[in-house]
């Protein structure tokens, strides 16, 4: 536990990389319906960066929605601060979510992360959220299943999801959308 806190405080990205291990239950492709739902709230002047590669299909899904995105097969935690005009949009791996939040806030760019809504209630995550402002939540009106590494779609969504947003300046902190 102490080691985890030191890594985040120092923001030593190289140490963090070795801490994260791939997990089979974190490897799910997001159906295009989830991205269709939010495409209109993404600022037009920002390039979408989906830093979690999985199988590379995210780039194809966004292309169907008329968006060219950054989607490279590299370690998200190796990304440092930069001046690119981009927004991070993804369904990230759910384990070690507090480290994901720390890195997203370190990068200080707008983001939209599709996450299980129960992640918001986790004590470690709440400690991170409480220090931040301009966080918005969009409960997902979509309950479509996800796609495994063999291309099989689950019958339904395993849990309730929300879009965790930062610096989007939505009209409300909790923003409800009708299903498209």
Residue-level length of the chain? 180
Q: Tokens for 7?
A: 């890594």
Q: How many CB atoms lie within 10 A of CB 63?
A: 11
Q: Tokens for 31?
A: 């159906």
Contacts of 168 by beta carbon, 8 Å cutoff, 6+ apart: 41, 43, 110, 112, 134, 136
The pLDDT value given to residue 4: 36
Closest CA relative to residue 149, chosen from 15, 4, 28, 26: 28
The pLDDT value given to residue 26: 62
Instruction: Select the more confidently predicted residue: 6 or 152.
Output: 152
The mean-pLDDT minimum among 13-22, 34-43, 75-84, 129-138 falls in 13-22
The pLDDT value given to residue 2: 31
Closest CA relative to residue 159, chosen from 115, 104, 125, 129: 115
User: CA dist 163 to 9, 28, 142, Å?
Assistant: 26, 16, 11
- C-alpha neighbours within 13 Å on the C-beta side of residue 148: 10
Q: How far apart are CA 4 and CA 10, in angstroms?
A: 10
The pLDDT value given to residue 145: 81
Is the pLDDT at 54 greater than 50, yes or no? Answer: yes
CATH architecture of 23-166: 3-Layer(aba) Sandwich (3.40)
Q: What is the mean pLDDT of the chain?
A: 85
Q: How far apart are CA 64 and CA 67, in angstroms?
A: 7
- pLDDT tens per residue across span 109-119: 999 999 999 99
- pLDDT tens per residue across span 58-82: 999 999 999 999 999 999 999 999 9
Q: Tokens for 128?
A: 């991170």
Q: How far apart are CA 41 and CA 128, in angstroms?
A: 24
Q: How far apart are CA 23 and CA 10, in angstroms?
A: 25
Please state the separation of Cα 132 from the chain's center in Å.
Answer: 17
pTM of the shown model: 0.84
Is the pLDDT at 137 greater than 90, yes or no? Answer: yes
């Amino acid at each position: 536990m102490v080691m985890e806190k030191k890594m985040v405080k120092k923001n030593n990205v190289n140490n963090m990389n070795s801490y994260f291990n791939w997990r089979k239950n974190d490897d799910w492709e997001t159906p295009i319906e989830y991205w269709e739902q939010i495409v209109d709230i993404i600022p037009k002047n920002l390039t979408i960066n989906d830093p979690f590669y999985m199988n590379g299909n995210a780039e194809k899904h966004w292309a169907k929605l008329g968006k060219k995105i950054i989607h490279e097969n590299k370690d998200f935690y190796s990304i440092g601060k930069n001046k690119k005009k981009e927004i991070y949009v993804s369904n990230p791996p759910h384990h070690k979510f507090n480290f994901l939040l720390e890195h997203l806030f370190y990068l200080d760019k707008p983001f939209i992360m599709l996450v299980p809504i129960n992640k918001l209630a986790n004590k470690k995550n709440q400690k991170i959220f409480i220090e931040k402002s301009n966080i918005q939540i969009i409960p997902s009106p979509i309950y479509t299943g996800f796609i495994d590494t063999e291309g099989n779609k689950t019958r339904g969504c395993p849990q309730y999801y929300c879009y965790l947003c930062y610096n989007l300046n939505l009209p409300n902190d909790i923003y409800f959308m009708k299903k498209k």
